Amino acid sequence: MTSILVTQRPFFTGLIAFEPEGGGTRYTARALHRSAEDRAAREAMGLHEGRGRCADQLAAGL
C-alpha cells in the first residue's frame, strides 16, 4: 500500500538520482524546502527517517 500526502501548498520538492559509480550505484536524495518552518514540519512528521528506511530497503533488495 502506498500513501501520498496531498496538500494545498507543497512544502518540499524531492530530488532523487541514481548514478553509476565504480561497481555499484550512487543513490542521492535531496529535499528542497520553501522555508525553515516547512523543513521543521517535515521533520516532525518523520519523513527524514522514512527516507532513510527507504534507502536501507533499497540497498537490501539489490
Closest to 32 (Cα-Cα) out of 14, 16, 17, 44: 14
Between CA 26 and CA 38, with CA 32 as vertex, the angle to 5 degrees is: 135
Model confidence pLDDT, tens digit, residues 3-43: 666 667 777 888 889 999 999 888 888 888 989 998 898 88
Query: pLDDT band at residue 2, thresholds of 50, 70 and 90?
Result: low
C-alpha cell at 4: 501520498
Please tell me the predicted confidence (pLDDT) of residue 20.
Answer: 95
Q: Which residues pair with 19 in a beta bridge?
A: 26
Please tell me the predicted confidence (pLDDT) of residue 51.
Answer: 77
